[in-house]
Each structure stands twice: as structure tokens, then as C-alpha cells.
Amino acid sequence: MTKGKVDALLGIVFGDEGKGKVVDVFTPRYDLVARFAGGPNAGHTIIFEGKKFVLRSIPSGIFDEGKLNIIGNGCVIAPDLFMQEAKELETAGYDLRSRLHISKRAHLILPTHRVLDRAYEAAKGKAKVGTTGKGIGPTYSEKASRTSLRVGDILDNFEDKYLALKARHEKMLADLGYTDYDISDEEKVWIEGIKYMQTFPLTDTEIEINRYLEEGKNVLAEGAQGTLLDIDHGTYPFVSSSSTVCGGVCTGLGVAPNRIGEVFGIFKAYSTRVGAGPFPVELFDETGDKIREIGHEYGAVTGRNRRCGWVDLVALKYAIMINGVTQLIMMKGDVLDTFPTIRVCTAYEKDGVTTTDMPYDTEGWNAVYKDLPGWQTDLTSITREEDFPKAFADYIKYLEEELKTPITIVSVGPDRAQTIFRK
Ligand code: GDP
Ligand code: IMO
Ligand code: MG
């Protein structure tokens, strides 16, 4: 029997590329959908039949009955937020326990991890990362320093382990002089969340996934964040704390590299970034405001303004290289419908030096642009590639040539239905 493959769908810029929408569209083709990195810092929006859901920890394949969804070992999970998210889905009529398994090896975010997140940010002064405040950095730090608790820990004598780790955090916070916090209400909901999580299948997901592959079934790995927020390959230190790239699929799910099939790299027809850090294409003028306004570029998790700019070929080429992207998916073309000129960043320039390679230190670089004509046509009701206005077709062709990778899917609106598969 032919063995199954793991296809990866990865954000290849700064996150929020539209991963949730595409995973939802792709799910019918797969047997299993798995998150391999991140936690409730993610916010993946799915819109269909007039309904909207924003998923944080639960994979976006959850709406398709009969498909298994997995929160993999590379993820971190906050029991209280998980409970809130899962109950919303249960209220909407989705039976989760039959289709959602959580890795015993995923790590737990404690309420005190979130306090530590705030304390570390406060201590950074002007150099704040602008985190989502969900305790991501402190939890992954403790995973690496081997002091963290895992989902499997909630199956046995959990209270003692929890109290010991909480006490350790309280000492760390006192050492930082960060004492103005009160987690008592939060903690009650968190403990309720632990009990709620105990009613879910907590499993050895790496074994389940590999069993599926042995049986010839196919898996979709749903990325969180984006390549430029990756702990190794992003704009460090303005990054998240997990492996968001294709390599993270292997470590975050326990699958071997030779099991990876297609690597879908998803990006927007322009760029956004939420949080601090270098962003050479950032627009500070009314064009940036217009993109934000039309694209509703406000964080799905924190509601913060997303910083906006033109598409960045330096970043995209780098991400395609790091991830081995085989197909590109371009989202939100419709947001640029009214712009007479579309700009593309082709290189970075600093102190007379020009580069098309992603520099080690992305601070202080200016974008070099090429201008292309806008299509000035409403794309949102187009359903076939043949009906694309010429300038939009030319934009796609230009990007494909520059990026040496085919753009096989184009999205022209937030709904499931507004997705065009190219031939
Ligand atoms: P994710 O984190 O990568 O899943 O992306 P988010 O959900 O955080 O952000 C993407 C936003 O764009 C969501 O509000 C989506 O509903 C919306 N969206 C996705 N695709 C399109 C599109 O093609 N056009 C428009 N206008 N909106 C889109
Ligand atoms: P999805 O999966 C966009 C950003 C934060 C901050 C940095 C570190 O929806 O694309 P963290 O809380 O992870 O320590 O924050 O990373 N960030 C995201 N930006 N989309 C995301 O997820 C993000 N997850 C984290 O804004 O700059
Ligand atoms: Mg998002």
C-alpha cells in the first residue's frame, strides 16, 4: 500500500495570511488535520454559510465530521482558553470529543506563564516584542529548560505538580519585582479547564499520525504564525517562540522529513505585521491606512492594528527557500481592488548597499519598489481564473516568475466559496 503523506500549509510572512480559511477549504481532501506549533497566540478565522469562527488552539479541520483533528506535541495549550474555544464550538453543534485528540506531549500554559509574559515585556522597556500576552514565550522557555508541565501530567497527581510550578513562578515574579497581579479568578477557570480537558482523548498523537500514514491516509499540517516569526528564521528577537517553519512540522508532530509531501506557502497580496519589530515595507501614510481599513487588518486575537505594507519579495523568497515551498496560495487580492498602482518590494537597501537576500539584521533597511498597474476591478464575485482582469493576472504571473513557484490558489474574499483553484 502506498503510504500517506503530510502536506504542510504554512504562513510564510508574519502570520495572519489566511491559514484558517484555506485549511477549512482543504480539509475534505485529508483524513487528519494537525496543528504542530504555537498555541492561543494564533487566531485563525473561518467563514462559511454566514457563520464566523476564530480558532486559537483547535485545528481548522474541525468543521468536517469524520476527520480527525490533532493538537500536536509541538503546541502549547491553555486549558481555560481551550475550554472557552471548545465550548463555543459545542454550542454551535460540533461534537468535538469524537474528532479532536490532544497530544500528551504538548505543554501547558499556566496562568502564571501569562503573568511572566507581561513581566518580561514590562522589563524590556522600549524593546518590547509586543507579544499576544498568552504566555507563549515563558511556556516554551520552560519546555527548553525542562521545568514545564505537559498535557499528560494532568492524568496523574496533577495538583501537586501544578502548585510546585506555580510557586516557582511566583518566586521568579518576586525576583523581577513584578508583584502587582492577581490570578485568583483566572486560576479557578483554568482548573475548571483542566477538568474539562481530562474529558478529551489525550493521546500519543505521534503514533496515531504515523499509523494513519502507514494506512495510506493523508495528513494536513496547519501552520501557526509565519516564517518571519519563527524562533530560528524570523526577525529575532521580534519573533514567537516555536518552530513555525516546515522543519517544525517534523518535530511538532513526530513525523519524518521523508513523509512531507506538498508544502503550501500562504501569503497575502500585500504584507502585514502585528507586534513590534523590523518591517521594511511598512507604510505610514494613507495608503497603509487604506489597506488596513479595506482588509480589516486588526488582530483576530488582540484586536491590535496590524501594520500594513506592499508585498515583499525578499521575505517571500527567503521563506520559500527555508520551507521548500512547492505551491503558493495568494490571499486577499480583493483588498487591492481600488488601488491604481500596486507596488512590490524587490530588494532592501541600506547605506548604499542593496540586497535581495534576507539580512541577518532586518533593522534599518528600506524597501526598493517596482510599480505595477492596479486592476481597479471588483474581484470578490469572480469564480474562475479566466475572468481575472488582465492586470491581476499579470500581477500573479509577475510574482510567480520572481518567486519561481506556482501560485495555485487565489483567494478573493473571506468566505470559503471565494477561493479559486488555478489550472
Ligand atoms: P490566519 O491566522 O492565517 O488564519 O489568518 P487570520 O484569520 O488571522 O486573518 C485573515 C483575515 O483575512 C481573516 O479575517 C479572514 O476572514 C480574512 N480573509 C481571508 N482570506 C481573505 C480574502 O481573500 N479576502 C479578504 N478580504 N479577506 C480574507
Ligand atoms: P496566526 O497563527 C500574527 C506575533 C505577536 C508578537 C510575536 C510574539 O494567527 O497567524 P507571542 O505571543 O507569540 O510571544 O508573540 O508574534 N504573533 C502573531 N502575529 N499572527 C499570529 O498567529 C501570531 N502569533 C504571534 O504579535 O509580535
Ligand atoms: Mg491569525
**pLDDT per residue over 145-189, tens digit each?**
999 999 999 999 999 999 999 999 999 999 999 999 999 999 999
* pLDDT tens-digit series, residues 285-311: 999 999 999 999 998 777 889 999 999
- The Å distance, Cα 62 to ligand 2 centre, comes to 22
Confidence category of residue 360, pLDDT binned at 50, 70, 90? very high
Q: Where are the alpha helices (DSSP H) in 15-55?
A: 19-26
* pLDDT tens-digit series, residues 126-137: 899 999 999 999
- The Å distance, Cα 356 to ligand 3 centre, comes to 27
Choice from 328, 332, 335, 410 to test ligand 1 binding pocket (greatest atom count within 8 A of CB): 332
Confidence category of residue 423, pLDDT binned at 50, 70, 90? confident
Burial grade of 342 (CB within 10 A; 0-12, 13-18, 19 or more): buried
Confidence category of residue 277, pLDDT binned at 50, 70, 90? very high
| pLDDT for 43 | 95
| pLDDT for 197 | 98
Choice from 57, 228, 331, 396 to test ligand 1 binding pocket (greatest atom count within 8 A of CB): 331
| pLDDT for 299 | 81
| pLDDT for 240 | 98
Cis peptide bond upstream of 237, omega within 30: yes
- The Å distance, Cα 367 to ligand 3 centre, comes to 25
Task: Tell me how far apart the alpha carbons of residues 53 and 44 are, in angstroms, rounded to a whole number.
Answer: 8
Atom of ligand 2 nearest to the CA of 224: 2
Q: Where are the alpha helices (DSSP H) in 231-282?
A: 246-253
Q: Would you state the cell numbers that stand for residue 74, as one nine-digit string?
A: 509541538
Atom of ligand 2 nearest to the CA of 223: 2
Q: Would you state the cell numbers that stand for residue 141, as one nine-digit string?
A: 522557555
Q: Cβ(51)–Cβ(21) under 8 Å?
A: no
Residue closest by Cα to atom 8 of ligand 1? 16
* pLDDT tens-digit series, residues 251-263: 999 999 999 999 9
| pLDDT for 362 | 81
First to last CA, the chain: 29
Give the residue numbers marked as catalytic.
16, 44
Q: Cβ(369)–Cβ(309) under 8 Å?
A: no
Task: Tell me how far apart the alpha carbons of residues 257 and 360 are, in angstroms, rounded to a whole number.
Answer: 26
Atom of ligand 2 nearest to the CA of 17: 10
Asked whether residue 1 carries a pLDDT value surpassing 90, the answer given is no
- With a Cβ cut-off of 6 Å, ligand 2 is lined by 11, 14-16, 38, 41-44, 129-132, 134, 136-137, 224-226, 229, 240-241, 274-275
- The Å distance, Cα 329 to ligand 1 centre, comes to 12
Q: Cβ(40)–Cβ(79) under 8 Å?
A: no
- With a Cβ cut-off of 6 Å, ligand 1 is lined by 11, 15-21, 42-45, 47, 296, 300, 331-332, 334-335, 411-414
Largest CA distance in the chain: 65
Q: What is the mean pLDDT of residues 356-368?
A: 94
The percent of residues in the chain predicted with pLDDT above 90, rounded, is: 96
